[in-house]
Amino acid sequence: MAASPRGDGAPRLYRLKLNPIGSANLRGDLFGGLTAAVVALPLAIAFGVASGAGPIAGLYGAVCVGLFASLFGGTPSQVSGPTGPMTIISASVFTQYAGEPALAFTVVMMAGLFQIGFGVMRLGRFVNLMPYPVISGFMTGIGCILLVMQIEPLLGYPSPASVINAITVLPAELAQPNPDAVAIGLVAFVICMFTPKRIGRLVPSPLIALVVGSAMALILIDAPVLGEIPSGLPDWQIPALDFARINGMLVSAAVLAALGSIDSLLTSLVADNDTRTFHDSDKELVGQGIGNLVAGFAGAIPGAGATIRTLTNIKAGGRTALSGAVHALVLLAVVLGLGPAVAYIPHAALAGILMKVGVDVVDWRYLRRSLRAPRVDVVLMLTVLVLTVLVDVITAVAAGVVIASLSFVKEAAELQVESIKAIADPEHARFFSAEESTLFRRCDGRALILHLAGLISFGAASEMVRRFSTVGSYDVLIVDLLDVPKVDGSAALALEEIIQYATESGHHVLLIGLNFHVARLLSRMGILDKVKETARFPTRLEALEAAVALTSGSVTGTN
């Protein structure tokens, strides 16, 4: 198990702990779990169909992930199950391993193991460092994919294999739609979009759309329906590996794990905001990983924290892990005898429901502000959006993080460069005390202060050397690090280059204000050895006194 520092400095191993199931909020948890289950039922079926694994796989995905993420996760009020982003990636996995379900479900198990590993290694906090334009871009991209992929089922045709395939065949299918399917799909979409909130609080709009769409399918008999599905306990899957394709399986699993982790922890933040609580990111990842691992064994699609179901649970009174467990157990009871009823659900009704999900997934809040947002953020968001739709999520997110990181480094370097000052005249150093200014004047222009402030990193290293190379003559170089809390390796090497150039030119070098972090790095890299201990000073005043002595000729020799 991975270790992390404890307050006393001793390593602390991750301990798997079952969440307490109590009766302190029994009524709220029971009602919240039941309400969340009603919302989850049509969505689980729709996501199962959209993934290509079938409706039963979607239902068992909601049961497995919902139950185990509640029991072992770190967000008590969160409800987990199949989500739009996870379904899109799952669909590509099941398409990639068509005819080999054992391999596809092994990828789901591997994704669960990855998530458990993320939690054990305590990587949850890093998900919160994801730049918002990247999150906005891939969420909007996922929403666009959901919308595009549901057009064919709404027109009465089978679901497409990919977005490119959907766009390619769309003109021909638009020319010959199935009127019955179109009618059902549009009615389902309108119900989901425009059901009054007061009614939606009593009966979720997706459930209304599902019932109305199924009733319409009994009259409009040309609309394709799901057909009878198996009910009862799942067909357990035995893990299978194809070592010739192991790299592809690992990549797909990592994509599922990363997306599921981001999706879940974003939902955890939403839950925290509504309940005024704080989730445990690492514990949440372990819980999600266990849920997806069990889902793979059960032949189910993977899931994550579901924002709509979580908010439904919270609004209905759910606050503890009991609510998520109740949601999962209600769905399990339903799925054990649901087969005959589900057979009459039309594909078009599910398409209408998922199109509403796609509309909700799109980040309209950021899109409305895009004209006023910083240009680099908008470009970043659009880049991730396009790559998500046309390539894949992992490429999109990776490219987004790289672009965001380079943009941040550029801005940080500009700020760092502004803090680098080569001072030869005390009038240009307003931070000097009166006594320090007096001593600096006594150096008669033969001393130069290289003043640095803030975190100095690789982004500013080359500029630091360039600025130093353009200064005039001097006898004593004072490197002022009083305001520098930390430097990285590149900045340390730049300092070495400056110190070495000065000493080789016969100049004296004095160092001011080496704190523990800076001194340790410079010492480990052998840079501190280039400056005598007698040339290192804790204060600027002491260094200037030494500089006066050196420039007045009372001390001779070089470092």
Highest mean pLDDT among 96-105, 120-129, 141-150, 271-280: 96-105
Highest mean pLDDT among 66-70, 345-349, 363-367, 510-514: 66-70
Residue indicated by tokens 């690789």: 458
pLDDT of residue 108: 96
Reported for 493-497, long-range contacts at CB under 8 A and 24+ positions apart, including other chains, are 493/461, 493/525, 493/527, 494/461, 494/462, 494/464, 494/465, 495/464, 495/522, 495/527, 496/525, 496/527, 496/530, 497/465
Mean of the pLDDT values across residues 35-57? 86
- Per-residue pLDDT at 173 exceeds 80: yes
Residue indicated by tokens 């391993």: 97
- Per-residue pLDDT at 212 exceeds 70: yes
* Amino acid residing at 350: L
Q: What is the 3-state secondary structure (H, E, C) of 256-291?
A: HHHHHHHHHHHHHHHHHHHHCCCCCHHHHHHHHHHH
Is 252 exposed, middle or buried (CB count within 10 Å of its CB: 0-12, 13-18, 19+)?
buried
Report the chain's mean pLDDT, rounded to a whole number.
85
**Residue 160 DSSP symbol:** P
Query: Which is more confident, 515 or 467?
Result: 515
pLDDT of residue 348: 92
Judge whether 356 and 207 are in contact, CB under 8 Å: no
pLDDT of residue 138: 79
Residue 283 Cα distances to 19, 124, 387, angstroms: 10, 8, 31
- Measured CA to CA, the distance from residue 218 to residue 231 in angstroms comes to 22
Mean of the pLDDT values across residues 502-506? 84
Sign of CA dihedral 50, 36, 67, 362: positive
CB atoms within 10 A of CB 301: 38
What tokens does 211 get? 């019932």
Q: Could you report the per-residue pLDDT of 300-344, keeping only the tens digit for each?
A: 999 999 887 888 788 778 899 999 999 999 899 888 876 677 778
Highest mean pLDDT among 22-36, 108-122, 506-520: 108-122
Split at pLDDT 50, 70, 90, the class of 132 is: confident
Q: Helices 179-194 and 347-361 meet at what angle, rounded to 10?
A: 40
Query: Which is more confident, 338 or 435?
Result: 435
Which positions ≥6 away from 244 have C-beta within 8 Å?
none
What tokens does 409 get? 């480094």
Residue 538 φ then ψ, to 5°: -80, -25
pLDDT of residue 406: 86
- Per-residue pLDDT at 557 exceeds 80: no
Q: Which residues of 402-421 are buried (b: 16+ CB within 10 A; e: fewer)?
A: ebbeebeeeeebeebbeebe
- Per-residue pLDDT at 147 exceeds 70: yes
Judge whether 28 and 317 are in contact, CB under 8 Å: yes
- Measured CA to CA, the distance from residue 539 to residue 512 in angstroms comes to 6
pLDDT of residue 128: 67
- Measured CA to CA, the distance from residue 43 to residue 62 in angstroms comes to 9
pLDDT of residue 7: 42
pLDDT of residue 470: 59
For the question of whether the overall pTM of this predicted structure is more than 0.85, the answer is: no
Nearest alpha-carbon partner for 61 in 297, 326, 320: 297
Mean of the pLDDT values across residues 460-488? 79
Q: Helices 347-361 and 205-219 meet at what angle, rounded to 10?
A: 150
Mean of the pLDDT values across residues 91-100? 88
pLDDT of residue 329: 93
Mean of the pLDDT values across residues 44-60? 89
Split at pLDDT 50, 70, 90, the class of 274 is: confident
Split at pLDDT 50, 70, 90, the class of 250 is: very high
- Measured CA to CA, the distance from residue 89 to residue 99 in angstroms comes to 17
What tokens does 46 get? 């729709």
Q: Helices 375-390 and 132-149 meet at what angle, rounded to 10?
A: 40
pLDDT of residue 5: 42
pLDDT of residue 84: 83
- Measured CA to CA, the distance from residue 310 to residue 326 in angstroms comes to 13
pLDDT of residue 469: 66
- Per-residue pLDDT at 6 exceeds 50: no
Angle (CA) 444 446 451, round 5°: 110
- Measured CA to CA, the distance from residue 315 to residue 32 in angstroms comes to 7
Is 221 exposed, middle or buried (CB count within 10 Å of its CB: 0-12, 13-18, 19+)?
exposed
Judge whether 36 and 311 are in contact, CB under 8 Å: no
pLDDT of residue 554: 47
Q: Could you report the per-residue pLDDT of 477-491, keeping only the tens digit for each?
A: 888 888 888 888 888
Judge whether 509 and 559 are in contact, CB under 8 Å: yes
Mean of the pLDDT values across residues 69-93? 92
Mean of the pLDDT values across residues 42-50? 88
Residue 453 φ then ψ, to 5°: -145, 145
Split at pLDDT 50, 70, 90, the class of 59 is: very high
Q: Which residue intervals of 304-392 are DSSP H helices?
A: 307-315, 321-335, 339-342, 347-361, 364-368, 375-390
Mean of the pLDDT values across residues 294-299? 96
Nearest alpha-carbon partner for 505 in 477, 538, 545, 542: 477
pLDDT of residue 472: 62
Mean of the pLDDT values across residues 94-120? 93
- Per-residue pLDDT at 398 exceeds 60: yes
Mean of the pLDDT values across residues 345-367? 87
- Per-residue pLDDT at 555 exceeds 60: no
- Per-residue pLDDT at 9 exceeds 70: no
| Rg (the chain; Cα; Å) | 31
Which positions ≥6 away from 413 have C-beta within 8 Å?
457, 459, 460, 463
Domains and CATH numbers, the chain: 20-362 (no CATH), 419-551 (3.30.750.24)
Judge whether 47 and 301 are in contact, CB under 8 Å: yes
Sign of CA dihedral 258, 259, 260, 264: positive
Mean of the pLDDT values across residues 469-484? 80
Judge whether 487 and 458 are in contact, CB under 8 Å: no
